[in-house]
Amino acid sequence: MSVSDADIAFALELFEGIGPLTTRKMMGGLCLYSEGTIFAMLHSDGAILLKGQGDFKTVLGDAGWQPWTYTRKDGAASSMPYWFVPDDVLDDADLACDWARRALAVLR
């Protein structure tokens, strides 16, 4: 499964307030970059995830964001430093950009 053009357009519109964005397709999904820094990912199922590093991971968890976890082929649980963007943030581009700026502040 790969991301749809509609999902890509939605993600780009959601974060357009942070400035010019670039993208790169990876593993059926799409990575979103601001000034060369990856800050979000569009999963192949259409979900949008924000990258969380350092203390920002705690902020995301405290705000109720869910981390991306998955099960490996050997049955072991694993996670990536990405957090699912909640529906209320997906519905508010200004809020989504505020969160993206907070993520980028830690990532740069």
Identify the pLDDT of residue 51. Answer: 96
Per-residue pLDDT of the chain (108 residues; tens, 9 = 90+): 688 999 999 999 999 999 999 999 987 899 999 999 999 999 989 999 999 999 999 999 999 999 998 888 888 888 889 999 999 999 999 999 999 999 999 999
Q: Which CATH superfamily is domain 5-107 in?
A: YgaC/TfoX-N like chaperone (3.30.1460.30)
Q: Which residues pair with 23 in a beta bridge?
A: 32
Sheet holding 21-26, edge to edge: 21-26, 29-34, 37-42, 48-51, 77-84, 66-71
Residue that the structure tokens 């790969």 belong to: 2
Identify the pLDDT of residue 65. Answer: 96
Largest Cα–Cα separation, the chain: 41
Identify the pLDDT of residue 72. Answer: 85
Yes or no: say if 99 and 70 are a contact pair by the CB < 8 Å rule.
no
pTM of the model: 0.90
Contacts 24+ apart (CB under 8 A), 21-27: none
Identify the pLDDT of residue 40. Answer: 97
Identify the pLDDT of residue 1. Answer: 64
Count of H helices and E strands in the chain?
Answer: 4, 6
